[in-house]
Amino acid sequence: MKDELYPSRLELDKSSYEKNLSFLRDYVGHDVVFSSVIKGNAYGHGIRDFVPMAEDCGVRHFSVFSSDEARQACRARTCDSHVMIMGMISNGALGWAIENDVSFFVFELDRLKAAINEAKRIQKPARIHLHLETGMNRLGLEEDEFEDTVRIIKENREYLELDGICTHYAGAESVGNYVRIQEQIENFKEYSSWFKEQGIDPKYRHSACSASALNYPETIMDMVRIGIAQYGFWPNRETYMNFVKKHPDVNAKHKDPLERVLAWKSEIMSTKKVPAGEFVGYGNTYLTSRDQQIASVPIGYAHGFGRNLTNVGIVLVNGERAPVAGLVNMNLLTIDITDIPDVEKGDEVVIIGKQGDQEMTVASFSEMRNFMNYEVLVQIPSGLPREIIE
């Protein structure tokens, strides 16, 4: 139901999400744990609304970047789903994670020691994933720290529950990183085998995100951490073309197996006739070339519709494409509706999504802004209402 207090809203299509899950689970294997990555406010889809929808579709494991996102996920869940922190959690918040059965990555000895201290204090084991440095050179336990890691774990077995051993790849979506990714894959195999030989054998080995799972199926292990693909987007065009090439059945159908979950909609705020030879809005960026009908839409760069879409952005009105005419303001943009008949105040405006036979995809939206899908999605304000469409 439309909330009249807001200038725009998001719709999350549950049936599309179910189709994406079915495709991805068939691909990775139904015995592999599917962890839904919901960092960045569930890639703009909204943790609060997305988590219960995903649970209704059978998801029981969620990955976040930080402890504040973990708290949001814990509050949003409606059943006994597990939450895993892949990135930032301060030592002072480790106690909260342990008490709430939230697992977290350990990529430095300081965090491992702090986790043990908190587990002793609380008298409950910390659930950890050993994050190994395999060549990304960002986060991860270094090879020269492995022996100390094993020793500390063995000395404190009763205070640790070893959920996983993992790594992350440095750009698996691009063929330009092929050699580097192959080296990481080999390093992870070698390192995880070494830990097993030392008696450190966690429940899950996991390394695959959307890009690595789709481009390097050998990275699919006991668990996958799927982000962008579950929302209906390929990591990039290269990944999609590579997948289609390797899977003739997909190519034969000539249909993208992933469906976009999100639609972003607003409405016509006002319409105005502007004579030929007049500037529209602030400054002199747009001059009418004829008598034109201009409509205002209550969306602007404060909502993630970038100022760089001035005079190049497109939205959908009454099933037609309407170009942005003039500067994108903080909370408002103006569009040219001269050639679209019968546009009235209150008519639906689609920023991302389908209307009639037309569609504005996040990809086309991204290309207009020279951004990636990821950047556009996470800039959609968290305060906008989300509605689940069955």
How many other C-beta atoms can be found within 10 angstroms of the C-beta atom of residue 209?
A: 24
The answer to whether the beta carbons of residues 146 and 129 sit under 8 Å apart is no
382 and 41 in contact (C-beta within 8 Å)?
Answer: yes
Of 48, 375, 82, 365, nearest to 223 (Cα)?
82
Rounded Cα–Cα distance for residues 195 and 164 (Å): 11
As annotated, the active-site residues are 39, 282
How far apart are the C-alpha atoms of 132 and 112, rounded to whole Å? 13
Flag whether 151 is marked binding.
Answer: no
Say how far apart CA 281 and CA 327 lie, in whole Å.
Answer: 7
Find out whether 330 is annotated in a ligand binding site: yes
Q: How far is CA 117 from the centre of its chain?
A: 33
**How far are the Cα atoms of 17, 42, 224, 226, 233 from residue 29, in angstroms, in the given order?**
18, 23, 10, 13, 20
Give the other-Cβ count within 10 Å of 155's Cβ: 9
Cβ–Cβ < 8 Å for 333, 301: no
Q: Could you please report the per-residue DSSP string of 119-142?
A: HHHHTS-EEEEEEB-SS--SSSB-
- Identify whether the C-beta of residue 84 lies closer than 8 Å to the C-beta of residue 102: yes
> Measured between alpha carbons, how far is 268 from 249 in angstroms, rounded to an integer?
43
Q: How many CB atoms lie within 10 A of CB 145?
A: 17
Beta strands in 39-197 (DSSP E): 61-64, 82-85, 103-106, 126-131, 160-166
Distance CA(198)–CA(148), nearest Å, equals: 12
Binding site: which residues? Answer: 138, 330
Binding site for substrate: which residues? Answer: 138, 330
